[in-house]
Structure 1
Amino acid sequence: MRRRDESVPFSTVFGLPAEVGLRTAAKALNLSPTTAYRRAGRGDFPCPLRKVGRAYVVRLSDLMRGLGIQDVRVLYDDLEAGARFAEGWTAG
């Protein structure tokens, strides 16, 4: 049985990936792929990057931070209450 005060990051609730490729990050940041690769090569991309083989990847949490989006923690109780609300269920 899980504890009722457990929480998860908002991004996890929606099944978002832990990392995205440079092109995806660039699109989210409104950068062209050429500009993104140029900035990555110079070391001044707006988010921290990691190289995996020849590809660059960006942690989703870093991308969200770069976009000014806070990845808040969501309580399971709130998720369950929201699901019940969405189904039209009300108490009483």
Structure 2
Amino acid sequence: MKSKSLAMIGWALIILQILALVAGFVWMILAAETEAAKVATDFAIEMTLTSFLVLPVGAIMVWNARASQTRQMKSIAKRSRRAV
């Protein structure tokens, strides 16, 4: 159960960061012709850097959760073989 919740948190992080990356670029494109272009560009750069920093964290959480599930399944299989 714990590994499923970690996987869900990891996927949520990945999805949120992809949305933040897209929002940063959309903001930059929409504000490119205004006086706020510098602020928008800074925002897009921050969102991009944040995405590249946080996306691996989410991916690692998902990967660890999957590995934990695999270990649990192997452990259950070992116990069931011993019981026979």
TM-score, normalised on structure 1? Answer: 0.26
Q: Between Structure 1 and Structure 2, which shows a larger proportion of helix residues?
A: 2
Larger Rg over CA atoms:
2
TM-score, normalised on structure 2? Answer: 0.27
